[in-house]
Amino acid sequence: MSQLDANLKAAGSAPGVGAALGKVAVLMGGTSAEREVSLMSGNGVLKALLSRGVDAHAFDPAERDLDALKREGFARCFIALHGRHGEDGTVQGALELLGIPYTGSGVMASSISMDKVMTKRIWRFEGLSTPAWSQVHSGAETRAAFAELGAPMIVKPAREGSSIGFTKVMSADQCEAAYALASQHDPMVLCEQFIAGDEVTCPVLGPTDQPRALPVIRIVAPDGNYDYQNKYFTDTTQYLVPAGLPAGEEDAIAAMVCKAYQVLGCRGWARADVMIDARTRKPYLLEINTSPGMTGHSLVPMSARAAGISYEDLCVQLLQHTDLDGGARA
């Protein structure tokens, strides 16, 4: 365990730390397509915080107005919302106006990171590798993208997570159906070059200017299909940590992911997904999640545990670093 990880663990376990955090709302549920996953994440976080003596309460923005947070004296929020109206800067903006510090990235970084097209544009501009892509607006444009990007091609909503609306297109005659599925969730649809090889993910903790990568996890899903079901509801997907990558690869991925986090202005925590080309061993950034899952199958807690940080200590540490965009730390 590194000295930083030891410090984080000690801070999360310190006596009386829970009481010092004040009244805490765990935002969960919400209105996005990832509501079910968010409720699992939020309830896990709530249980962890209560076990550490935090005055924590469940708060579902789909059922209560956010201004109740101010009226009821909440000192800070742990955002366990995923997807739209939770991870995309909207809730963050509302909390800024209410003056209530919150976990994770601020308004701009949250908004950009939720938009896979904008994220890829910034990463490409900053010299970070990401698969070739095309934004499309119809089935015909999806066919044209397929002709350019080749098979297989990934088609997905540009502003959803958890593989919702995702299709791996193998032939041109699948393009219209793939576009129709993705566009049910978002009018902005992304077609992306498929990178065949190892799938890994790497969480990051810390402020924008001092990010710290946690251990890389290699994901081995049934038939290479890491979809919604295999992410959250089956036990057949393998998660390898240590990842078992060739010498030097994990350090290179960690450095790349930290830079990806920095150039987007992320803070607090995030998790970046990466594909490693099987032939060249070159890593490619897919996307970054600024409100990662905290379910029993989730990857940030798994990686933290490999670094010696328990789920409960991780939750407390994230809560201790709540911020407003102006930098006024609670």
CATH code of the domain covering residue 205 = 3.30.470.20
pLDDT at residue 156 greater than cutoff 90: yes
120 and 252 in a single domain? The answer is yes
Q: Which residues contact 222 (CB under 8 A, 6 or more apart)?
A: 230, 234, 236, 237
Instruction: Pick the catalytic residue from 35, 106, 293, 313.
Output: 293
Instruction: Pick the catalytic residue from 287, 312, 313, 323.
Output: 287
* Residue 116 or residue 326, greater confidence: 116
189 and 200 in a single domain? The answer is no
- Could you tell me the CATH number of the domain that includes residue 55? 3.40.50.20
CA distance 137 to 320: 43
CA distance 103 to 100: 10
Instruction: Pick the catalytic residue from 111, 289, 298, 303.
Output: 289
227 and 122 in a single domain? The answer is yes
219 and 293 in a single domain? The answer is yes
pLDDT in tens, 295-304: 988 999 999 9
173 and 216 in a single domain? The answer is no
Query: Both tokens of residue 283?
Result: 């890593």
Residues facing residue 136 across a β-bridge: 189
Is residue 282 domain-resident? yes
pLDDT at residue 6 greater than cutoff 60: no
Residues facing residue 284 across a β-bridge: 275
Instruction: Mark whether 162 is an active-site residue.
Output: yes
12 and 154 in a single domain? The answer is no
Instruction: Pick the catalytic residue from 102, 232, 261, 311.
Output: 232
Report the candidate in 293, 321, 257 with the shortest Cα–Cα distance to residue 76: 321
- Could you tell me the CATH number of the domain that includes residue 172? 3.30.1490.20
Rounded to the nearest 10 degrees, the angle between the axes of helix 116-125 and helix 249-263 is 110
Q: Note the pTM of the prediction, 2 decimals.
A: 0.89
Q: Which residues contact 262 (CB under 8 A, 6 or more apart)?
A: 208, 209, 211
Is residue 323 domain-resident? no
Asked whether the CA dihedral 317, 323, 328, 330 is positive or negative, the reply is negative
At 277 the pLDDT is 97
210 and 272 in a single domain? The answer is yes
CA distance 151 to 21: 51
Instruction: Mark whether 273 is an active-site residue.
Output: yes
Q: Which of 151, 174, 193 is the last residue in one of the domains?
A: 193
Query: Both tokens of residue 208?
Result: 């924008």
pLDDT-based confidence at residue 14 (cuts at 50, 70, 90): low
72 and 87 in a single domain? The answer is yes
Instruction: Mark whether 312 is an active-site residue.
Output: no
201 and 255 in a single domain? The answer is yes
Residue 228's identity, in one-letter code, is Y
Instruction: Pick the catalytic residue from 88, 198, 273, 312.
Output: 273
Specify the 3-state DSSP secondary structure of 17.
helix
Instruction: Pick the catalytic residue from 89, 271, 303, 313.
Output: 271
At 105 the pLDDT is 97
pLDDT at residue 251 greater than cutoff 60: yes
Q: Which residues contact 8 (CB under 8 A, 6 or more apart)?
A: 205, 309, 313, 314, 317
Specify the 3-state DSSP secondary structure of 217.
strand
Is residue 315 domain-resident? no
98 and 62 in a single domain? The answer is yes
Domain extent, residue 236, equals: 113-129+196-306
Instruction: Mark whether 34 is an active-site residue.
Output: yes
Instruction: Mark whether 96 is an active-site residue.
Output: no
Q: Which of 173, 193, 213 is the last residue in one of the domains?
A: 193
pLDDT-based confidence at residue 159 (cuts at 50, 70, 90): confident
Q: Which residues contact 115 (CB under 8 A, 6 or more apart)?
A: 88, 158, 159, 188
CA distance 57 to 115: 30
Provide the domain count of the chain: 3
pLDDT-based confidence at residue 231 (cuts at 50, 70, 90): low
Instruction: Pick the catalytic residue from 38, 41, 162, 298.
Output: 162
Specify the 3-state DSSP secondary structure of 184.
helix
pLDDT at residue 219 greater than cutoff 50: yes
Is residue 330 domain-resident? no
Is residue 319 domain-resident? no
Is residue 239 domain-resident? yes
Report the candidate in 91, 90, 82 with the shortest Cα–Cα distance to residue 34: 82
121 and 151 in a single domain? The answer is no
122 and 229 in a single domain? The answer is yes
Q: What is the dihedral of CA 87, 182, 136, 126, to 10 degrees?
A: 30
- Least confident residue range of 7-16, 217-226, 316-325: 7-16
Asked whether the CA dihedral 34, 223, 194, 267 is positive or negative, the reply is positive
Is residue 124 domain-resident? yes
Is residue 108 domain-resident? no
